[in-house]
Amino acid sequence: MKIDWFTVIAQIINFVVLMWLLKKFLYRPILAAIDERESNIKKQLLDAESQKKEADQAKAEFNHKNEIFNKEKDVLMQNAAAEAKAEADKLKATARDEANELKTSLEKAFTEDQATKNDNVAKRLKGEALDIARKTLADLSSVSLEDQTVTVFIERLNGLKVDEKTKFSEALKGGKTILVQSAFVLSKEQQALIQKTVSSLLKPDSTFEFKVQPELISGIEILTNGYKLSWSVAEYLGSFEDDVEVATK
């Protein structure tokens, strides 16, 4: 059999050209697409891993801060409860001591003036001393003494009679500053509550000034242009002293 070398060489050339064309226009784009796809997948995996690490780190940081916050909150609540209890005990002891002092003074006065005073008067006045002490403690006994004091004072404002409101309104004429004095520092919320209550009752166009006056003995008072409205433990005790003075005349 005779070989047709021309045909063989032509077929070889055709095969080489075909392989070159396939490589250039088919295999190379496919391989490039595969490489690009693989690169994108690797990049997405890296991004996902990075985001997972960031999320885990953020979660750990949040849990840590939340744990610190809970601890601080517990400490603050315990401290607040302890301070409130200490203040309540102190106030009760003070009121009890003052009531005992008044009781002792009354007993001494009655002993010195037994010729003109009888036992019934002594018993009535002693009972009033105890009633005042109980009323004071009942008004102020609370987890938060300051909040309870503000609440009682607001009730006093809301319970003003018509003539008292008229006096208050007259004192506010001319835009006089309203001075609010308290035995403790009023919070912004407490100041706002007092301002709102006064404004709702009297509709004044006045400014407010808040000062601390420890001598009030757990009390609050409003002063403006010669007018005063107050509430405190001392007020109860003063009322009692007036009753004693009238009864012993």
* Residue 195 within any structural domain of the chain: yes
* Residue 166 within any structural domain of the chain: yes
* Residue 114 within any structural domain of the chain: no
CB 176 within 8 A of CB 204: no
* 3-state SS, residue 62: helix
**Which pLDDT does position 233 carry in this prediction?**
62
Q: The domain containing residue 152 runs over which residues?
A: 145-233
Q: Compute the C-alpha angle 173/174/176, nearest 5°.
A: 85
* Residue 229 within any structural domain of the chain: yes
Going residue by residue through the chain (249 aa), what tens digit of pLDDT does each one get?
Answer: 566 777 778 888 888 887 787 777 777 777 777 888 888 888 888 887 888 888 888 888 888 888 888 888 888 888 888 888 888 888 888 888 888 888 888 888 877 766 565 555 555 655 565 456 546 644 554 446 777 888 888 888 888 888 887 887 777 766 678 888 888 888 888 888 888 888 777 665 678 888 888 777 667 888 877 778 777 766 655 555 555 555 555
CATH number at residue 213: 3.30.360
* Residue 238 within any structural domain of the chain: no
Is the whole-model pTM more than 0.85? no
* Residue 183 within any structural domain of the chain: yes
- Rounded distance between C-alpha atoms, residue 78 and residue 82, angstroms: 6
Query: Would you call 68 exposed, middle or buried from its count of C-beta atoms within 10 A (0-12, 13-18, 19+)?
Result: exposed
Q: Which tokens go with 71?
A: 């601890």
**Which pLDDT does position 247 carry in this prediction?**
55
Structural domain count of the chain: 1
Question: Which residues, in sequence order, are CB contacts of 13 under 8 Å at separation 6+?
Answer: none
* Residue 176 within any structural domain of the chain: yes
CB 110 within 8 A of CB 103: no
Separation of first and last alpha carbons in the chain: 160
* Residue 73 within any structural domain of the chain: no
Question: Which residues, in sequence order, are CB contacts of 159 under 8 Å at separation 6+?
Answer: none
Count of CB atoms situated within 10 Å of the CB of 150:
23
- Rounded distance between C-alpha atoms, residue 22 and residue 9, angstroms: 20
